[in-house]
Homo-oligomer: A and B are copies of this chain.
Amino acid sequence: MSPDELTALLEAIRDRDVSVAEGLRRLSAPPVRDLGHTRLDTHRELRCGFPEVVYGAGKGTRELVEICKAICEEHAKLLVTRTSEQGAAAVLAAVPEVTHHARSRVLTRGLPGEDEGEGLVAVVSAGTSDLRVAEEAALTARMLGARVETYSDVGVAGLHRLLEAADALRDARALVVVAGMEGALPSVVGGLVARPVIAVPTSVGYGASFNGLAALLAMLNSCASGVSVVNIDNGFGAGFQAALINRVGAPTPAS
């Protein structure tokens, strides 16, 4: 039940369109919907501002479809990350209006248009191979209502590409900065802007990159102030955090 739906219900009760008994029934439904394998937290949107996001990895195809259907019965929006090719195909077949973003392995339903978002989140990435993670971050932030601009292939070994974009970056309320290998980009960006930077290490690299550990450690040790870090390849987490920050800057709903 989204905040809007709850408001509507309470107003209906106030206006006597819905009886108190019926209101009671609807509100006393347990906030968990049990699918056997999964217990959906149906009040999360009310509590956290967004329905439960589905982490697609490690779920069977049948389970994934059941979860997606159940969420779509309760909510207008759906966000699934790390879907297999097979899982994506099954969900597309079973649930209407779902879009598959192949590069980032994300499924969305109810994704706002590129110009519809409010505020601004910038998603900056270092190399071509980091794009899959950057896209996951951008889609997540858009799903949570942010307008997003992306800047890709602006790694630190070619500073002029980044410096050209510096002014534009300063307009964002929050920045997601994605980089693999030595993970230096967040430190450089963090020195150029006065906004929160969410750094995402990626597993791009080889040898002593240790699947992203090098970039992760570098980002945790950033000499720039205002940088925090999420898990390796966790574009979703960074996009989510950036969107929450973006909301902090939103005019209060009631005002």
Q: Which residues of A contact B (CB under 8 A)?
A: 31-32, 37-39, 41, 44, 47-50, 53, 55, 57-59, 63, 82, 126-129, 131, 152-161, 163, 173-174, 181-184, 187-188, 190-196, 198, 201, 203-234, 236-238, 240-241, 244-246, 248-249
Contacts and interface: CB of A to CB of B under 8 A. Distances in A.
B213 A217 contact: yes
Contact of A229 (B131, B205, B230, B233): B230
A23 to B, nearest CB: 21
A201 B37 CA distance: 19
A77 B17 CA distance: 59
A185 to B, nearest CB: 8
Contacts of A82: 206
A57 B254 CA distance: 47
A223 B156 contact: yes
Nearest to A127: B223
A195 B237 contact: no
A223 B44 CA distance: 14
A216 B217 CA distance: 10
A36 B152 CA distance: 9
Contacts of A153: 37-39
Contacts of A129: 57-59
Contacts of A173: 248
Contact of A174 (B37, B209, B232, B248): B248
Contact of A39 (B38, B161, B188, B238): B161
A240 B157 CA distance: 15
Contact of A37 (B131, B161, B181, B244): B131
A244 B195 contact: yes
Contact of A223 (B37, B182, B246): B182
Contacts of A193: 48
A53 B213 CA distance: 24
